[in-house]
Chains A and B, each alone.
Chain A
């Protein structure tokens, strides 16, 4: 069974060949290339990975991601982004980015429905409805790291589009406004309540067979150092509710290369779930991603 790292980012310096937006997280002169990632993967016996777009949402901003996917088609699958301005007409952008490129889906960070949970719901009015509708038609994966405001709205779309393959990122956590910061190593940090609203929103989506979840991002949410013991009960509970066939291990590279270290994160699942069965570990470490995301067989 291949070992697959199901979520992370690569980027190169901003250039004419590979244009991208810059931010404190990805300044213009910083790069974390796919070759660096491959070194970590090879050292730690990781066979394949999912590359998630960072540094801009336009077609042109995806140039480096497409380059990586085309150069290593057996190794990687890609997840793209949709510009805010195209949410009402996303179809052409989505099709163009997935046309023979190795991109298999799109990441969303909002859903776009009513703020008040007591308001009547009509999913056709949600900002992202056409993205979901087109994903259903074209069998694209939707990759969700949704803001807290919209956490409960995901269920309406999952329910409306049972054929869409959905991946909840980073333990299903939906970050709240004002909770983002960066630590001394430049890693994203999210102030996360231990009794988390996700228990009553995204974690409830275990009822839907088309929903899977990443066991990842611990470094950003935990109040403990590696191995993040405060989050171990979450891992154990998620294994019970989702089952290993709907959980995927991921590192969220490159933010973890130095702290805690890529090698350490390859052990996080068995450390957090000491009584995990071998077949469950195999599924979480790659089997689920291989099946759900349809990774190619390794030559």
Chain B
């Protein structure tokens, strides 16, 4: 399993993000893409109905309960392409909170604005966003304000024009690219002005703290949590 270099440690602490090009590749990527597209198609009608009931937004689409759908999604959670870094940055005390297997249709603007996910007094909160298709400029790419995760950074304004956020960096990438970021930091999905939906899987992690462990949360995938590390990661112990 890949471990962070000294430079990766420095970059993570200073900038708040790391990019893993080709984290998923080859046959594994093809299988992931196939499973993603299959389940997105299978579950789509339920999503359309939930939009009509006012329960879901039409501006992004998450495959529900994706970990139950295919092992390939479970295998992403502790993928060797980036898992060593997650463990290192949390002193080997990590829990997984959940996945978002998300497709973002083209729209006239982004479905969200610039935001941090949690305040800095929250336990360390990390997301890994894995592109399922190639994500080019102005196609809903992830963007981050480097250094915005640090205590005392900012203040930052919720600018309506996403491109006007000072100092932000955009992350285009090939399918299989993984972007790990500290979600104290300000981030967004940029506008998608192409005709191509953006597909990605967002994995959400946190440093383990007693109040955040929900033992029953991933009970449905107990059989796949077949090592002590996995059982701990999925809060099964």
Report A's interface with B, CB cutoff 8 A. Answer: 115-118, 120, 147-149, 151-152, 155-156, 158-159, 174-179, 192-193, 197, 199-201, 204, 206-207, 240-241
Complex Cα–Cα for A197 and B58 (A)? 8
Whether A177 touches B54, Cβ cut-off 8 Å, given contacts A117-B105, A159-B108, A207-B160, is yes
Smallest CB–CB gap between A291 and chain B, Å?
19
B109 touches A178 (CB 8 A): no
B52 touches A148 (CB 8 A): yes
B195 touches A176 (CB 8 A): no
A241 touches B195 (CB 8 A): no
Main secondary structure of the interface of B (DSSP, over half): loop
> Which of A151, A174, A204, A241: most chain B Cβ within 10 A?
A204
B54 touches A174 (CB 8 A): yes
A207 touches B109 (CB 8 A): yes
A-B contact pairs, 11 of them (CB 8 A): A115-B48, A116-B48, A149-B51, A151-B51, A155-B108, A175-B54, A176-B53, A179-B54, A197-B57, A200-B60, A200-B111
Instruction: Report if B224 contacts A (CB, 8 A).
Output: no
> Of the candidates A158, A192, A241, which one forms a contact with B54 in the assembled complex, judged by CB atoms under 8 Å apart?
A192
Complex Cα–Cα for A157 and B177 (A)? 35
Smallest CB–CB gap between B194 and chain A, Å?
12
- Residues from chain B with a CB closer than 8 A to the CB of A206 are 160
- Residues from chain A with a CB closer than 8 A to the CB of B107 are 117, 152, 155
Complex Cα–Cα for A176 and B108 (A)? 22
Kindly list the 4 A-B residue pairs having the minimum CB-CB distance in the complex, ordered from nearest. Answer: A176-B54, A148-B54, A152-B58, A197-B57
- Residues from chain B with a CB closer than 8 A to the CB of A117 are 51, 58-59, 61, 105, 107
B111 touches A204 (CB 8 A): yes
Instruction: Report if B169 contacts A (CB, 8 A).
Output: no
Closest residue of A by beta carbon distance from B195: A120
Instruction: Report if B235 contacts A (CB, 8 A).
Output: no
Smallest CB–CB gap between B158 and chain A, Å?
6
Complex Cα–Cα for A151 and B51 (A)? 9
Smallest CB–CB gap between A259 and chain B, Å?
24
> Which of A116, A120, A159, A175: most chain B Cβ within 10 A?
A116
- Residues from chain A with a CB closer than 8 A to the CB of B158 are 240-241
Smallest CB–CB gap between A211 and chain B, Å?
11
Smallest CB–CB gap between B143 and chain A, Å?
16
> Which of B54, B55, B57: most chain A Cβ within 10 A?
B54
A204 touches B105 (CB 8 A): no
For the complex with contacts A117-B51, A176-B55, A177-B53, 10 further pairs of A-B residues with Cβ separation under 8 Å are A152-B59, A155-B109, A193-B55, A199-B57, A200-B112, A201-B111, A204-B59, A204-B112, A240-B158, A241-B158
- Residues from chain B with a CB closer than 8 A to the CB of A199 are 57
Smallest CB–CB gap between B77 and chain A, Å?
24
- Residues from chain A with a CB closer than 8 A to the CB of B112 are 200, 204
- Residues from chain B with a CB closer than 8 A to the CB of A115 are 48
- Residues from chain B with a CB closer than 8 A to the CB of A159 are 108
Instruction: Report if B98 contacts A (CB, 8 A).
Output: no
- Residues from chain A with a CB closer than 8 A to the CB of B105 are 117-118
Complex Cα–Cα for A259 and B58 (A)? 34
> Of the candidates A116, A120, A158, A241, which one forms a contact with B113 in the assembled complex, judged by CB atoms under 8 Å apart?
A241
Smallest CB–CB gap between A239 and chain B, Å?
11
Instruction: Report if B92 contacts A (CB, 8 A).
Output: no
